[in-house]
Structure 1
């Protein structure tokens, strides 16, 4: 059995999506299928086929979420002592030593990753390069543009 590491916030978001799919989306789809059936011949009924496709997608997503929730390992760094070490769930600020560009990332589970919000997957090259390192360490991270040297300037357990 594979455990999926996840932050407490990520687990809450998955639970909310599950609740929405079960209590709102699924009933809407059932209603759409019933309405489409009333139109008669199902072979050429585009609304019926679209609703069935939506139903299939929804049920697949429900199974996916339920499977992940049954195998998650919630890691809450806010309850840990900050020793300056980069671990799953920490928020890390790094500075590119060549460009002086500063960026902050939170290392999260695969399902939580959202680069637009600076949430990076624990399996990403940047996260893999940072995990296990400590505040003030210099790290070399392989990027598409080659190896880049960064300094860890902040490690937060928030």
Structure 2
């Protein structure tokens, strides 16, 4: 069984979603199904079919989250002594060697990745190039438009 790395924040977000699905969404859809049933003929009852479809989605998502949490290896980067080494969960500032453009990313699990919020998957090409390297190292990231060199400027345990 392969453990999947996840940040504390990522695990917490999944637990919150799971609790909402179980305590709010699931009872609401059960109620909607009961109300739709009272309207009679189920073959032509769009409300009933929509509620059943939503119920299927909710139950599927509950199973998916429970599976992810059961496989999660929650890593609290704040509890790891800070160093200049890039590891899962660290926030890394890198400098594009050609144009001096600076960018900061937090390396997170696949489900937490959100490039708009500077969170990249540990399995992304940039993260794979950075993991294990240290401040001052230059890494080469293969992109669709060719190889790009970045210098690691800062590693933070945030």
1:9-50 per-residue CA deviation (whole Å, 9 max, x = no partner) reads: 111111100100000000111111111111111111111111
Residue equivalent to 2:42: 42
1:54 aligned to 2:54? yes
1:60-103 per-residue CA deviation (whole Å, 9 max, x = no partner) reads: 11001111111211111111112200010000001111121111
Residue equivalent to 1:13: 13
**Mapping of residues 63-78 of structure 1, within 5 Å:** 63-78=63-78
Whole-Å separation in 2 of the counterparts to 1:9 and 1:144: 31
1:24 aligned to 2:24? yes
Between the two proteins, the alignment pairs up a number of residues equal to 158
Whole-Å separation in 2 of the counterparts to 1:157 and 1:143: 27
| 3-state secondary structure, aligned to 1:81 | coil
Whole-Å separation in 2 of the counterparts to 1:94 and 1:145: 19
**TM-score normalised according to structure 2 size:** 0.97
**TM-score normalised according to structure 1 size:** 0.97
**Mapping of residues 55-134 of structure 1, within 5 Å:** 55-134=55-134
Whole-Å separation in 2 of the counterparts to 1:149 and 1:141: 6
User: What's the RMSD between the two structures over aligned residues?
Assistant: 0.8
| Structure 2, gaps ≥5 residues long | none
Residue equivalent to 2:139: 139
| 3-state secondary structure, aligned to 2:60 | helix
Whole-Å separation in 1 of the counterparts to 2:128 and 2:32: 45
Whole-Å separation in 2 of the counterparts to 1:77 and 1:140: 25
1:138-158 per-residue CA deviation (whole Å, 9 max, x = no partner) reads: 110011211101011010011
Whole-Å separation in 1 of the counterparts to 2:73 and 2:153: 28
Aligned structure 1 segments of 4 or more residues deviating by more than 3 angstroms: none
